[in-house]
Chain A
Amino acid sequence: MITAGIDMGSRSVKVVLLEEIKVDGAPQLNYAVKKAHLMMPGDIDADQAAEKAFTEALAAAGVSRDQVKSVFATGAGRKQVEFATEGVTEMTAGARGAVYMYPQARTVVDVGAEEGRGIKTDSDGKAIDFAGNEKCAAGAGSFAEAMSRALQLTLKEFGEASLRSDKSIPMNAQCTVFAESEVVSLIHSATPKEDIAKAVLDAVASRVCAMVRRVGIEGNVVLIGGMVHNPGFVQSLKNAMDVDQVLLPELPEFVSALGCALIAAERQH
């Protein structure tokens, strides 16, 4: 049986095709990811973007649409995925995917382009507590992206630059627009780019950490969402949470789509 999970984010569409593997005598069902496909839509029509990403994923996996038993959607644009069988919240999908990958994980930190959130989960991957914040770019990836543009660095350079700094420069602005003017002031005062990059990522980490502390840091912490690709942010978040180790999936942006596909599969039984 094949199921699909679609994470309709604000910047990209993630599709995971999951296949159930029957293992004789196994105590539980096993699954294998058949295809993980990411698409950055060039237009703003979310439904068309989801359709295109899903079609591309099917083609890449050599799977026909009829073979997919169920399609579950999550993410900010999940209601716009008209062909989805059902939608689940980002908290439910993220928790399920994270615990599937790391059964010992009990705290999930999800930071994507638009939003960040902290989730506490039980051993079954069911979200039992979550904290989100007002829709605000200052706690998410788009803020880091805007600030890297202000510093004329690529996102990769931006993250790596912050790791070269050991300075702590507080950023007071709560809003991307005002934060950008703080960054411009720092540039004009000849503050090294790596120190500014660290200040920005520390500010994002601080906002995210406040949400994680609301639900409480318990057990192993797993980070999911596209911001995990930024090593500077990961370090800033570890410092803010005062934890030595966090679990980092290889493809962190697909974890919620994976969770969705798993829930879709489980509801077939």
Chain B
Amino acid sequence: MATLTMYPDDERLSRGERSVFNLYLVSAVALFVLMMLLGLAMRMSQGNWLALAPDLFYRVLSMHGAGMVGTMGLVTTAVMWFFLRKYVTLHLWAFLANYVLFLLGALCIIGSIFIGNYAGLWTFLYPLPSQGMVWSPQSAAVFMVGYLLIGVGMLLFYLDAAAGIIRVFGNFARALGLQWLFGGQIDPSHPKAVVAGTMVIIANSLGILAGAVVLVLYLINIYDPQMVLNALLTKNLTYWFGHMYINATIYMGVIAVYELLPRYTGKPYSVSRPFLWSWAASTVFVIIVFPHHLLMDYAEPRWMAVTGQIISHGALFPVFLVTAYGALANVYHSGMRWTMPSRLMMLSLFGWAAGIVPAVIDGTISVNRVMHNTQWVPGHFHFYLLLGVLPMALALMYHVVGSRRQAPPDSGADRIGLPLYLVGGLVFVMAFLDAGRLSVARRMATHLPEWWPTDQAGAIGAALVILAMSYFAVRIGAGLLKAPADGDRAHAAG
């Protein structure tokens, strides 16, 4: 069970752990700001405020997509590691190996885009990568190798985490608490971080396996074009991989809410039967929900499309409802300590909740046919990533910064930065959603003049977000790198 002690001893970081953990977080906040700047450039270009040549636009879009998804995976892995290591043995070498392989993968991706001119987007849909007009097959291959390296790194981390979980709990079923689904006395100390971590390991390992298969087949196709792949199967596997990867970031990030919220409310937040049911259901749902990305593919078997819609409607609710209800019940009448971590956690719950709504709407086949190729979809995923998942990670970062002086951060600049981030984020995502309502096509470098107002509004929102995020990055970076406070046993240990 999550502790009520604000900075418990079992979260102390040794010197080596602190170094690697800081590498993750400092790299992540720096990458977020850089990727956001690329996003701003694209929105300004679409709004006719900046001249980006179309080929450069699609390269920037590829970098922004791959970079944001990868960085979100990196930072939420750090969240999972930070809390899971309290309950099971995790090896630092696996955590570090994931970081090193991520960096190598990122270098491949950056090289393929900015040296090799790859512009086939992060979804690398077949046969686009191998048939690009402005990039060579070799640069597409380097992009694929970059993804493979990132996937291998994450798989190593998951295997190490799985080993730790199995050593303590025996198997995944017991780690998920399946033995208490239909009865029995639930162990109140069963860690939510273990339940969520197990679910992520199961789901994302499957996704990485699918990615490892399809990416190698891409490489074979690039160097031997007579090996023609089945486009529909390839797309299914690509989205199975991509969908699971980005969804895993939510489920890794939410561990921060489970662990930290009770410390700020001062109320226990123990595991319950609905909680276990919701995570068990979501483990299945997140694996089979990916066909909702393929509702526009006429060749997709009908039963898969129907499954995609039904599971979309069902999958989004169990964990979210249980988490939101549980979190709000935990906050209610609690005398919450309103500091940056607690504010960010509440923002994340709002962002997750509100960001789901456009997804549920788009997951309906009849709506999807009209909306899926519009900016409604980037409106959805920017909503839950920018205002949901990223604040979860920021909450942990601020919490760790606070641990250096044994008090949660809450400066005047923080209190200005957060509303700026929220307002900017809302303007930014609402501009996307409104553009979706107006049927503005997504993934287009050049926009019609009629579309410019939403693009320009989005650019203004993005600029505000970047302003706030730049402040967060400096504040968090400086806070993490600052020497541990005197008498802080947490860091003296290192």
Genuine A/B complex:
no
Please report B residues at the A interface, Cβ cutoff 8 Å: none
